[in-house]
Amino acid sequence: MRHPFKRDRTAAAIAAAFLLFVLGFVAPRTASASPMTFSVVGTGGSSPALPPVSDSPFWWIDSSGGSTGAAVAPFGFDLFQGPGINGIPDGVTGSLLTSSAFTLSDGETLNVALTLLSTVSMNFDALGFAVLLEDSTVKAILANSRPDGIGHFGDLAHPKEVDFNGPGPDVAFKATPGTINSTFQLGSRTYGQSGIIFSCQSIVCETSILSSITPGAGTYQLLFGTYSFGSTSALAVTDVSTSVPEPATIVLLAVPVAFLFTRRRLA
């Protein structure tokens, strides 16, 4: 006769192995969307870690690059909500940052973290944007606002048609405007200057943005831009990663299934 304790241990081991097998498939996975490289049109490049911006190396561009809206037009980026009002307005210049192509699988989520910066507070005439490209055409807008988080040029009354186009319902989006509490150099520009009226240490001059999208299997690129009528703005890409969300319902089902399997073996 088989010893009952041995039978108990065998059933428990099988149940544990089954649970680990299930969890091995559903555990969240996070990986970089690399190998990814970037190319700059205008002013920008890679930067070592700069604590006011990022604790890790990052890529950046600023609006001093002199690139016109013509550089954005081929991608089909529509800045404004109004019909027939397309592209970047005349007289607004800046820089673009384009990633190399990368692939995503079904169910894989792309996560992009970026920070919009301004050299002066109340920067009414600048913007930064991030879009996901597929076949060199805009698939989704991931971010589109001024460095202070406002979605239109100027602060005067205006028709809604000239509000910026924002992320769609398929994009999980979080924007956190804030002050710049320390002075630092990025490229040839200084941010967070103190000792002036409306200093960035007391007025909103930056917005941190986190956007996520699950666009389906395909080959994609990222396009970032920052443009301004005059005062300098910047955009820093602080993180790009992909993840497979944990299917919580499968995990919850796995535990009772394993338990019932054990009970059946012990009966």
pLDDT in tens, 99-156: 999 999 999 999 999 999 998 877 788 999 999 999 999 999 999 999 989 888 887 7
The verdict on residue 179 lying in a domain is: yes
DSSP 8-state class, residue 201: T
Query: What is the mean pLDDT of the segment spanning 34-53?
Result: 92
Helix (H) or strand (E) holding 99: strand 93-99
The verdict on residue 256 lying in a domain is: no
For the chain, the straight-line distance linking the first and the last C-alpha, in angstroms and rounded, comes to 16
pLDDT, tens digit (0-9, with 9 covering 90-100), for 182-212: 899 999 999 987 666 667 888 889 999 999 9
The pTM of the full predicted model, rounded to 2 decimals, is 0.79
Share of the chain above pLDDT 70, in %: 75
The verdict on residue 23 lying in a domain is: no
Which structural domain, as residue segments, surrounds residue 200? 29-248
Long-range contacts of 49-54 (CB under 8 A, 24+ apart): 50/184, 50/186, 52/180, 52/181, 52/182, 52/184, 52/191, 52/192, 53/115, 53/117, 53/184, 53/186, 53/236, 53/238, 54/115, 54/236, 54/238, 54/239
Asked whether the beta carbons of 104 and 218 are under 8 A apart, the reply is yes
Query: What is the mean pLDDT of the segment spanning 173-186?
Result: 93
The verdict on residue 21 lying in a domain is: no
* Residues 57/216/76/228 CA torsion (nearest 10 deg): -30
DSSP 8-state class, residue 180: -
**Given this model, what pLDDT does residue 153 score?**
81
**Given this model, what pLDDT does residue 34 score?**
46
The verdict on residue 219 lying in a domain is: yes
Q: Among residues 92, 52, 21, which one has the least CA distance to residue 236?
A: 52
The verdict on residue 3 lying in a domain is: no
Query: What is the mean pLDDT of the segment spanning 224-240?
Result: 93
**Given this model, what pLDDT does residue 260 score?**
36
**Given this model, what pLDDT does residue 250 score?**
38
The verdict on residue 1 lying in a domain is: no
What total of structural domains would you count in the chain?
1
User: 103 is written with which tokens?
Assistant: 């692939």
Residue with tokens 């995503």: 104
Asked whether the beta carbons of 235 and 224 are under 8 A apart, the reply is yes
The verdict on residue 40 lying in a domain is: yes
Asked whether the beta carbons of 163 and 83 are under 8 A apart, the reply is no
Torsions phi, psi for 264 (to 5 deg): -65, -40
Q: Are strands 126-134 and 137-145 parallel, antiparallel or unpaired?
A: antiparallel
**Count of residues making up the chain:** 267
Cβ partners under 8 Å of residue 209, min gap 6: 113, 114, 115, 116, 130, 142, 143, 145, 173, 174, 175, 176
